[in-house]
Amino acid sequence: MNKIKCECGHINPEGTVLCEACGKPVEENQHIDGNNKSKLLNMRYDGSARRSKTYNKTIVDKIWNFFSSVKVGVWLIAITLIASSLGTIFPQEMNNQSPLPAEQYYEENYGMAGQIYYQLGFHDLYGSWWYMILIASIGVSLVIASIDRVVPLYRSLKKQKPKRHETFLKRQRLFGQAEYASDQDYHTVIEQLKERRYKVTQENGHVLAEKGRFSRWGPYVNHIGLIIFLLGALMRFVPSMYVDANVWVREGETKMLEGTEGEYYIKNEDFIVEMYDENDERFKESIEKQGGSVPKNYQTNAVLYQRTDESLPGVDPELEQVKEGEIRVNEPLKIDGFAIYQTTYQLNEFKTMTFKLHEKNDADEKAIGEFTVDLVDPKSEYTLDNGYRVELYDYYPEFEMKDGVPSSYSKYPKDPAFVFHVYPPGQVEPEVNFLAIGSNLDPNGDNQYKIGITDLEMRDVTGLTIRKDYTLPLLGIGGAIFMIGVIQGMYWNHRRIWIQPKEQGFWVAGHTNKNWFGLKKDLEKVLEGTSVEPPEDQQELKE
């Protein structure tokens, strides 16, 4: 390490551009910030010695320099930006509701373009390895670029002295020479600086007035926030970090909460759908336009239970009620870090159906006997009071004819159909009855008895999602730190005003990291009531 000793006596680390104490340009390093080509000094990092600008020999140096470059960072962000936009051309696979597999979906819906899209892997762009690499590179760049700058900048701002080298002041953007300024002016200026809440330090008449230095740390604070956020996002690749499960619960039913490893059970007391009143004056016109019935509320009234015994297979759990609550869209129910969301529902699933058996020719259809079938858990045989027996020969919860054969679309009793075998007392050969909603068939055409539906019970089914996410606190902390940092850096700025006494009058120079307009206004106010003209802006854009 070749330390650089400045004429002011301060010893600077290798690679320093402007002396940390007095700001005098270190001659051999002026190319680093491009100061050799311009009249004004580049004050970006106060001319401090950054590792990335000092060493470039080993492979580590090269990697460090690559990732610490703002240019590289900007390119990485720009590429990520463009890549992200490509992913919105067609729907992503994960947001796609279509039952078609991806290789067919894109071609069938978007033709040639869709096929190319799929083959390039853009249907899962945000999960692709190269997108991950982009994000990871941004993360690495955030770390390296921040460390590269914050350490020397901190040093430099800590070592700065009120007494600055003449060249440093002359080559500031705001610089003025007040040759006719009086002692009185000098004191007025210092007073007014203090009034404007500048922190004033003096050294043999040399003045440094500073305000808002903490805003210089804003970028680094927000970068730390981003890194924490990205780490949180990275944690999601660890499967045990979060739970994502679904459960369907019928009204009246108690079910184990998926994802809680059998610890919690939930009972659906009631599922409610509310619609807006179509005659409500407020919304009448809009509801009409939308074709009537706009939903107002989806809600599950739930009771949560905790299992109190050891979980053993085949043993009915002992449950203890722990919580009661309403689950609505936007209002999940929470327990022990789990959040239970209202996700979907199924209205009017059949619960039970009650039938009666009567003689076919009986005009009054007087019941010989009645029986009730539980549609979720049907019995295979129903014995009526007077010796009649009905066998449930076949049951289709959601009936459909498939290739001419009766079958069931699902196991959920949404549109049930039955084949009953009726055994009158003493008879061995049954009569066959086929029943579905709205139809009652006698396949052989010689039945003596008939079965009719007398009653039915319906119920709703609620679809809930259970989530637990250990990464959320990390993401929250990251987000909060980012916001603090970005506000710190954007809503405050670091202003410095130097005053250097001369044999006649004094010199004034000013620098700020942003908002020059504000600094100029400060200077105007500070110099008010004195003979000193506000310093000139040596870098107005070409007008």
Partner 1 sequence: MELSTISSNLLYASFFLYLIATFFFGGTIREKDAQQKESKAGKIGITITIIGFVAQVGYFITRWIASQHAPLSNLFEYTTFFGMMLVLAFIVMYFIYRLNVLGLFVLPTALLIIAYASMFPSEISPLIPALNTHWLYIHVSTVSLGQAILAVSFGAGLLYLIKTIDQTERTKKTSWLEFIIYTLFAVIGFIVITSGFRLGGYEVTFEVPAEGEAVEVSTVDYTLLPIVGPTDGTLQTQGASGPLIEAPSWMQGEKAARKLNTMIWSLLVGLVLYVMTRLILRKRVAAAIQPKLARVKPSLVDEVSYRAVAIGFPVFTLGGLIFAMIWAQIAWNRFWGWDPKEVWALITWLFYAVFLHLRLGAGWHGEKSAWLAVIGFAIIMFNLIAVNLVLAGLHSYA
By CB under 8 A, name the binding residues for partner 1.
42, 44, 70, 73-74, 77-78, 80-81, 84-85, 87-88, 91-92, 94-95, 109-111, 113, 126, 276, 280, 282-283, 285-287, 289-290, 294-298, 328-332, 339, 341, 343, 465, 467, 472, 475, 479, 482-483, 486-487, 490-491, 514-517, 537, 540-543
Output 190 or 484, the one with its CB closest to partner 1: 484
Q: What is the DSSP letter of 217?
A: G
Distance CA 264, CA 334 (A): 12
Q: CB of 250: closest distance to partner 1 in angstroms? A: 21
| Cα separation, 99 vs 114, whole angstroms | 16
Q: How far is the CB of 349 from partner 1 (least distance, A)?
A: 20
DSSP state of 473: H
Minimum CB distance to partner 1 smaller for 109 or for 530: 109
Q: Which is nearer to partner 1, 112 or 312 (CB)?
A: 112
- Phi and psi based region of residue 46 (left: phi greater than 0; alpha: psi -120 to 50; beta: remaining): left
Distance between CA atoms of 89 and 531, rounded to whole angstroms? 64
Residue 148 CA to residue 157 CA, distance in Å, equals 15
Residue 199 has which token pair?
Answer: 């922190």
Nearer to partner 1, 408 or 512 (CB): 512
CB of 38 to partner 1, least distance (A): 8
Tell me how many degrees the CA angle 443-448-452 measures, rounded to the nearest 5. Answer: 75
| Closest by Cα among 384, 374, 367 to 349 | 374
Which of 404/517 has CB closer to partner 1? 517
Strands 495-501 and 242-250: unpaired
Minimum distance of partner 1 from residue 354's CB (angstroms): 31
Report, in Å, the least distance between residue 251 CB and partner 1.
Answer: 19
HSE-up of residue 389 (Cα within 13 Å, Cβ side): 12
Nearest distance from C-beta of residue 379 to partner 1, angstroms: 36
* Closest CB 136 distance from partner 1, rounded Å: 16
Our CB check for partner 1 shows the closer of 200 and 339 to be 339
- Smallest CA-to-CA distance from 419 within 428, 410, 411, 408 is with 408
Q: Please state the closest distance from residue 487 (CB atom) to partner 1, in A.
A: 5
Q: Which one, 355 or 482, has the nearer CB to partner 1?
A: 482
Closer of 81 and 238 to partner 1 (Cβ): 81
C-alpha of 140 from chain center: 21
Contact criterion met (CB below 8 Å) for 193 and 528: no
Distance CA 449, CA 384 (A): 14
